[in-house]
Structure 1
Amino acid sequence: MKLVRWLLGRLILLLNFVFSPKGIKRSEKEQQAVNEKSKSLALYQFNACPFCVKVRRAMKRLTVNVELRDAKNNSQYREELLTEGGKSKVPCLRIEQNGEVQWLYESSDIVNYLEEQFKTN
């Protein structure tokens, strides 16, 4: 079973690489504003998780730079996800605003949040 999961994970990553979406073209000033706004975000994820790939593709499509935190291979991030977020589930977007932290778990909810925050006119 581990071999099948490993092979599927590699296939997902390969297809993601081959069919990678193009990002939004913004002016330098607009992109700096997006980068500044996205500094308060962190995505807890597994590299080959299909739902995590979905969120990373949305980030690329929106040209949003979010810190990626590997909760599979980094015990500190895995522990943060469990103790602060309440669940050991990925993908999870950590959103810090005005000193408060919100944890957003479902990939579709995360994509919707990113689209609302970083859409272009």
Structure 2
Amino acid sequence: MFIIRWILGRIILFFDFVFSPKKRQRPVTEQQRIDQATQSLSLYQYKACPFCVKVRREMRRQSLNITTIDAKQEQNKNELETQGGKLQVPCLKIVEDGQTQWLYESSEIIGYLNQKFA
């Protein structure tokens, strides 16, 4: 089972690389404003998870510089589980006005990014 998952993961990463979406071009000042707004966002993800790839593709499409965190590393895994409430990826950590919100589900994350930055 491990070998099948590993092979499928590599296929997903290969197609993500080959068919990577084009970055959105914005004026420099607008991109700087968006980069400032995305500093409070972190995406907990697995590299070859198809739902994580879906979110990362949308981040690239919108030229969003959101920090990605590998949830397979033990420290990050524990942080996601204890602070976020469950071990599920993708998960977007949103820190605004001292409040932390954990947003799960790829379609909800993409909806949030579209609403905030599109």
Question: What TM bracket, shorter-length normalisation?
Answer: over 0.9
Q: What stretches of structure 1 of length at least 5 have no aligned partner?
A: none
Matched letter for residue 46 of structure 1: Y
What do the CA deviations read for 1:32-51 (whole angstroms, capped 9, x no partner)? 00000000000000000000
Secondary structure of 2:24's counterpart equals: coil
Give the superposition deviation at 1:89.
0.5
Paired residue total = 118
Structure 2 counterpart of 1:49: 49
Q: What stretches of structure 2 of length at least 5 have no aligned partner?
A: none
Matched letter for residue 71 of structure 1: A
What do the CA deviations read for 1:1-27 (whole angstroms, capped 9, x no partner)? 100000000000000000000111001
TM-score (norm 1): 0.96
Structure 1 counterpart of 2:97: 98
Secondary structure of 2:42's counterpart equals: strand
Q: After the TM superposition, which residues 1-121 of structure 1 pair with which residues of structure 2 at under 5 Å, given as runs?
A: 1-72=1-72, 74-119=73-118
What do the CA deviations read for 1:55-97 (whole angstroms, capped 9, x no partner)? 000000000010000001x211101100000000000000000
Structure 1 vs Structure 2: percent identity of aligned residues? 53
Secondary structure of 2:100's counterpart equals: strand
Whole-angstrom CA distance in 1 between matches of 2:12 and 2:80: 24
Secondary structure of 1:101's counterpart equals: strand
Root-mean-square deviation (Å) = 0.4
TM-score (norm 2): 0.99
